[in-house]
Chains A and B, each alone.
Chain A
């Protein structure tokens, strides 16, 4: 079992839909949780960053962490065609190396 599991999709939704992207993990030492967005033929860019459990909101994006279930989510409200990209979750522990472990990414397509 991989440390971080992420459904590769693709996930296809109409413009304006609420999108839910998810990752599960097995390492209970993970404390930092990140979401990266990667447009086609570009490098990933950091979108959201949360520490431990709870929610964090930034505009149309909400990151949610449930450590008891080892499950994290990224919600996108009022999705736009410009949100079409691959979304990678990443997580790291607080002890020793902070280098994150990445999920494989979920491809999201928002069609007009």
Chain B
């Protein structure tokens, strides 16, 4: 059974804290993605990575950075968390050539106080 796992289901942080969200996939997929999902706004792409150490900005990269040191792991970093980054964060992975067939993790509900 294919699996994308995220390090936390729920996270509460304070404004200004550095936040790390971890994602691991066991399908040997080349491509990994970070989205945020907000009511009324749907899924918005933050960053994606098509290979180890490679990254590309998505639609809303401001305030975020990413790291991909190993093929199976993709991290999202909030350098200085702000209240407007309170959201559901979803990680996904996909095989090259079928980027539209994405496998999603369960999500991390982040609250920034």
Contacts and interface: CB of A to CB of B under 8 A. Distances in A.
Interface of A: 6, 8, 32, 34, 36, 41-46, 49, 88, 90-92, 97-100, 102-105
Could you tell me the dominant secondary structure of chain A's interface residues?
Answer: loop
B12 interface: no
Nearest to A33: B100
B102 A46 contact: yes
Given A42-B107, A99-B48, A104 B100 contact: no
Given A8-B40, A105-B42, A43 B105 contact: yes
B43 A99 contact: no
A97 B107 contact: no
A41 B100 contact: no
B90 interface: yes
Task: Select the residue from B4, B43, B90, B92 with max chain A CB neighbours within 10 A.
Answer: B43
A100 B102 contact: yes
A90 B42 CA distance: 11
B41 to A, nearest CB: 7
Interface string B55-93: 000000000000000000000000000000000001010
A74 B104 CA distance: 21
| Top 8 A-B residue pairs of the complex, sorted by shortest distance between their CB atoms | A43-B104, A104-B42, A98-B99, A102-B43, A92-B100, A100-B100, A32-B100, A44-B104
B56 to A, nearest CB: 9
Nearest to A102: B43
B102 A103 contact: no
